[in-house]
Amino acid sequence: MRRRVLVGAALLAALGAFSAATAAEIEPPKVTISPVDWTAAAAVLKDAGDGGAAEQFGRLNAITAKRFPGIETSSVPVLAPFDLDAFKADNADAAPDKYFGPFHPTKYFLPGPAGFTGTYALDIGGGPFKVSYKKKPIEIELTGAAFTYDLDPPDFQEVFPPKDKSLSTLYPGIRRILREAHVRYAFERFGVPYIVSIQCYDTRVSSKYLSCREADPIAEAFLKKLAVVGGAPQKIAEPNLDLTRPTAPTDFTYYAPGDLIPNSGYKKLPGRADYHVYALMRFPIAEAPAYVKSQSFMPWGDCYRSGHTGRLGKKDAPYTCKVNGLPLTFNEAAAVNFNYPWRDNFCELRDFLVGQCAGGHGHQGQDIRPANCFIENTGADRCEPYHHTIAAVRDGLIWRLPGNLAAYLILNNANEFVRFRYLHMNPKFMDADGLVTGREVKEGEIIGKVATWGDYESGTSYHLHFNIQVVTKSGWVWVNPYMSLVLAYEKLIGGRGKELHEGDPVPPVPDKPPVILNPPVTAATPGAAEAKTETAAPQKPEAKTERKKTRKKHRRHRRRGPRTETDE
């Protein structure tokens, strides 16, 4: 997406925030409660009958709950592209999806104390709309929030009036926003912030991705079809997160949030010193230890387009990234990759759009390595996948189309309106395991294994990429999950970590050799075959064959067109 914003004061504010961040205590996020006007919402209902707003919406919910399960739990009026009058007239109809026109409802509809969120899909090719992109159905997301998160700057986005001027009459104050590879239409109604969002790229029309110029008419038609379909008046309280930390001493150490590997930020800009914990959660790697570590600027990393000196591709060959000259070795199993301290890599150099990063671009989340590295043999330079498990961080709803690379887990409760994203698991395995839209999972449930799936098997290093998004008045926005992960990890290990500052002694790197799956069998190594059987984790039948196809070279897939870490 082209960026037409000015860095200016926002960048200076970010730099100042980084240098001023000396406190080591976590803090809850700041929010704004939505002043919901249920009387105004009830006034737009047709044939709602007598009584106050609660009674009128109660009768409406009894009708629409057939198509919107749980709609009565939404603390804000629910909007949907739904022909309510026709549905009321045909209430005995067994197939209510016809009342949505071209916007097919999906299994992702989540109402609750924080409001509601859900998606609608257009057929491949856009149905009645002229769309060049024909890879997958187009999803339109709609969210109404009982409270929104107030984020500190920077806050990069492009804001315009809607192209269709009639929308400003329909929704006074509506804004068209280009942010983080989505076009969003944000407006307030009945005191509630609503956001319609479509993933797209502000660039030329292509069959490989949806351009925002082709997404705009879809969003405009969607907005014109919205009707009030339910919800229920209820008290919206200030969110309250218990941020109590364990006190027992541990060997866990971590650098402060925003303290990236030197010069590894976008255009060498600093990271984001964000001490907010946005959600209480279980740690996403099922078992400790685990390590938040860079995948690009640590041993075996490719320096992410910043250039390097030395040779990549030969095991144990020395090299450096040109941005900082720190000595590295071409070996993913290097002990430093699998030991404390942790280091923040949100806002690390990437091409991806991140409004919360100083230059408007960054990494979107955190890369997490599991406990150790399994290698095929003594000559291998990279870790083999599927030896560590991944857990659901909370009870919640999955949002993921079959085939997509990313899986989202959504929370909607009195204290959190948050979604988590898991990336680099094998999408074929996720499909086979039913990790798709509409599935409910429980905290701690195993939902996959750590893998190396970039755009294909062995397309990235062995790690889990983990993100958090929260609802703002501009819609769902990437925030730094680092301190949320710190607290979750402390609870997992039952003790308090130590934050490292500039000048503190760095813990020595202990020797941590990898697990060799196929060690040489000699007289000096009795029982090697048995050791292999004991250490190797069970794998899907096709996994080994797929890995062999791409193991010959160390490379990353470079797609033409926009680069993204999003759903596709």
pLDDT of residue 502: 82
Please list the pLDDT of the chain residue by residue as tens digits (568 residues): 333 333 333 343 444 444 334 446 999 999 999 999 999 999 999 776 788 999 999 999 999 998 999 999 999 999 999 999 999 888 766 566 789 999 999 999 999 999 999 999 999 999 899 999 999 999 999 999 999 999 999 999 999 999 999 999 999 999 999 999 999 999 999 999 999 999 999 999 999 999 999 999 999 999 999 999 999 999 999 999 999 999 999 999 999 999 999 999 999 999 999 999 999 999 999 999 999 999 999 999 999 999 999 999 999 999 999 999 999 999 999 999 999 999 999 999 999 999 999 999 999 999 999 999 999 999 999 999 999 999 999 999 999 999 999 999 999 999 999 999 999 999 999 999 999 999 999 999 999 999 999 999 999 999 999 999 999 999 999 999 999 999 999 999 999 999 998 889 988 999 999 999 999 887 655 544 444 433 444 455 454 544 455 444 444 333 334 444 455 4
Q: How far apart are CA 334 and CA 315, in angstroms?
A: 11
pLDDT of residue 506: 87
Long-range contacts of 247-250 (CB under 8 A, 24+ apart): 247/495, 247/496, 248/494, 248/495, 248/496, 249/495, 249/496, 250/490, 250/493, 250/494, 250/495, 250/496, 250/497
- The Cβ-side half-sphere exposure at 9, using a 13 Å CA radius, reads 1
Question: DSSP letters along 115-151, please?
Answer: EEEEEEEEPTT-TTS--S--SSPEEEEEEEESEEEEP
Q: How far apart are CA 345 and CA 330, in angstroms?
A: 20
Domains parsed from the chain with CATH numbers:
30-230 (no CATH), 249-550 (2.70.70.10)
Of 236, 221, 210, nearest to 36 (Cα)?
236
pLDDT of residue 47: 74
The dihedrals phi and psi of 374, each to the nearest 5 degrees, come to -105, 125
- The Cβ-side half-sphere exposure at 452, using a 13 Å CA radius, reads 27
What is the dihedral angle through the alpha carbons of 203, 209, 210, 212, rounded to the nearest 10 degrees? -20
Token pair of 490, please?
A: 């402390």
pLDDT of residue 88: 86
Angle, CA of 41, 43 and 47, to the nearest 5°: 115
User: How would you class 234 by CB atoms within 10 Å of its CB: exposed for 0-12, middle for 13-18, buried for 19 or more?
Assistant: middle
What's the predicted TM-score (pTM) here?
A: 0.90
The count of residues in the chain is: 568
The dihedrals phi and psi of 322, each to the nearest 5 degrees, come to -60, -25
pLDDT of residue 522: 73
Q: How far apart are CA 288 and CA 179, in angstroms?
A: 35
Instruction: Report whether 387 contacts 374 (CB < 8 A).
Output: yes
Of 6, 87, 11, nearest to 356 (Cα)?
11
Of 102, 99, 162, 104, nearest to 128 (Cα)?
102
3-state secondary structure of 308: strand
User: How would you class 369 by CB atoms within 10 Å of its CB: exposed for 0-12, middle for 13-18, buried for 19 or more?
Assistant: buried
- Could you give the maximum distance between any two Cα atoms of the chain, in Å? 89
3-state secondary structure of 267: helix
Q: How far apart are CA 379 and CA 490, in angstroms?
A: 36
Report the relative pairing of strands 496-500 and 249-255 from DSSP bridges.
parallel
Q: How far apart are CA 372 and CA 410, in angstroms?
A: 29
Report the relative pairing of strands 464-472 and 366-369 from DSSP bridges.
antiparallel
Of 507, 514, 504, nearest to 536 (Cα)?
514
